[in-house]
Amino acid sequence: MKQKVVIKVCINDPVSRFCCFNPKRSHSTALTLAAGFPGVQSAALVGDDKDRIEVVGERLDAVKLTTLLRKNVGPAEIVTVSEADAKDKKESESSKDKAVQPIMWPHIGGGVPHREITYVVDPYQYSEPSCSIL
């Protein structure tokens, strides 16, 4: 399931670690950190001030990503977390033909295998008659 996470990062804030040196560097640092996070497929700066990072990917941990941005760039907060293809799924579901699919029952084996019943006879305890005529 693809997720879309929007994180607001205060890049031009005086608390930000890189704002004193070069604000563009903090933009690129935040974008590089977001793009290198595990599970990320795309990352982009959005918003009027380019202060939001939109990250799309599978199995994203938004909290860990936000914590990473807080440690390396500055104040960050999660704005939204949603499915990436929510609109496409709704359109595809409504446009699908509602065909009846056959029910596939699982194959059930022959049951539980049982052991054969065997008897162990001790020849010393069981004695046959010595005379075969009797």
Is residue 4 over pLDDT 80? yes
Is residue 23 over pLDDT 80? no
Map out the domains of the chain as residue ranges.
Answer: 2-87
Task: Specify the pLDDT at position 99.
Answer: 64
Higher pLDDT, 97 or 51: 51
Q: What is the distance in angstroms between the CA of the first residue and the CA of the last residue of the chain?
A: 83
Question: Alpha-carbon distance 20 to 101, whole Å?
Answer: 63
Question: Alpha-carbon distance 11 to 65, whole Å?
Answer: 16
Task: Write out the two tokens for 47.
Answer: 């918003």
Q: Is the pTM of this model over 0.85?
A: no
CB atoms within 10 A of CB 62: 16
Question: Alpha-carbon distance 43 to 36, whole Å?
Answer: 9
114: helix, strand or coil: coil
Does the domain at residues 2-87 carry the CATH identifier 3.30.70.100?
yes
